[in-house]
Chain A
Amino acid sequence: MIDILFILMLAAAAYMAWNIGANDAANSMATSYGSKALTLKQIIFIASILEFCGAFFFGSRVTHTVGKGIVPIQLLDPHIVAIGALAAILSAGIWVTISTYYHLPVSTSHSIVGSMVGFGLAAVSENLIDLESIRWGVLYKIVLSWIISPLSGAVLAFIIFSFIRVLILARMEVEKVEGIFRYLQVLTACYVAFAHGSNDVANAVGPISATFGFSETPAWVLALGGLGIAIGVATWGYRVIETVGKRITELTPTRGFSAEFATATTVLSASYFGMPISTTHTLVGSVLGVGFAGGLASVDLSVVKRIIYSWVLTIPAAAMLTISLYTLMVVFL
């Protein structure tokens, strides 16, 4: 029975990883396409390799938090953990797919955290664990990191672009500066891909790691996640990169560099602290930061409201979906 559950879980995680690669990775890489720093092929090449590297070499901390940090899995039967983990990945995948269809700016990170909370609550309702044994402290830190990360992106991007503006753009020919930053943006594109892989891989494989109990998550789990993301970028992400990239052509290399550097630094720091944050929301914060520093012709603040709505919606929606799926599976499996 556990074998079937495990295979299903791998499939669901692979789908989630693919979705993350196709959409989130593509969005963060589109900034390099919009500024024409890289061609589509180059971006896909860089994204596939560095997303994988980030996931494989630096993805374990966030994976640990998602899989083992929220629900006290050591108190639960392995069979229950397997069912819960499967329900969590499935509902995160379903929720992300539905809300993407309706153009809600949801985050895969928020979805998976909401799902794990749902799993925990389902276990509580079955009297398998106490409500207090769910690690609310960790959850509190995670929610705090969701608020801090877009702000950090905005502040960093604001500072970086202001420096570029005052120290470089004001003194040198614009074309020359943009030319130089076109090359630098190749580096930040790699940086973003690596950071994104290190943080978002957990959204796909975090629940799998839960089934391994408190032993170390095997490297192949992270490799599976990294591979799924890379394939997502290559098979669907290029369309997203093209679509998004065409709409953000005003992100010139200096602006793109600032936004990417701020995003990648924030996301990688979050990975270091094991916090599953939203790369997309951080990127939105960073772009707004560049806008506030006077770097863009126009930024639309209404997107912030939509992001906050989708936060508030995602946690209960993902949690309830998980509870439903979990209950169904417990009854039928």
Chain B
Amino acid sequence: MDLDDDDSFFTRNVLGGNPAPRQPAAPAAQRRASPDPFQSGPDFDVWTANRDSEDTQGETPLQQLIRHWMNERHAPDILPVQQTLLSGLLDHIRRQSDTVQILRSDPSSSEEDHFRIMLVQTEIERVKFIVRSYVRTRLFKIEKYARYITTNADVQSRMSATEQQHATRHATLTDEHFFQSVLRSLPAPQRGLDEAPAFVPSIVTLPDKTRAVFVHARVDCPPVRLPDGTTLEMEKGHISLTPYAVVEQLVARGEVELV
């Protein structure tokens, strides 16, 4: 692999050097059933092309991840996990790091080559940062809403298997700590964690969907209904501040992004 390929890999299309041939969309079930991180390029392309609206096509995987990362950071709820996108990028990072290692140990490379290798490494670190922050943001929310997640199948469907396991583990861990530190010493009738007394907010933390978010319309959006009954129709490029619940569906369809 030569260096020019390395330099431009994050700004061009995905996985390896050759532009992937575009295929007709695969059935949804087939795409869902391929969690293999080493899957081929064309499949990856089809997946992204089909998943969001058509203007994803101009975006590189990194730009897509940055968008999902921003959405994730601003949304109060847990958004669908971008498993394929993420594993594609991770896979690419791994191969780039390997290539850099080989090039670095090559004694015939010139001073200028080393400088370019350094740039590639910096770029890899930058991508790693975003990947890490994305995963970490999700993890933070998962821990915060662990109890709610374990009882809600809808949220679970938006998470990866590992994340679900972590949520379950975390909910158990928290309960265990409560039990050891407090509940164990209380009289028997007070030991439960599932009571819901009147006039007291629920003990389970729920995502606050009324939280205000800034949305930026990526395409012309269909009208959405605001809490006061009026409708809001956003044109492409429009930015507005609304409760998250109002734009939830638009975010899910990728028509708006949170900023």
A and B bind = no
Give residues in A with beta carbon < 8 Å to B: none
Give residues in B with beta carbon < 8 Å to A: none
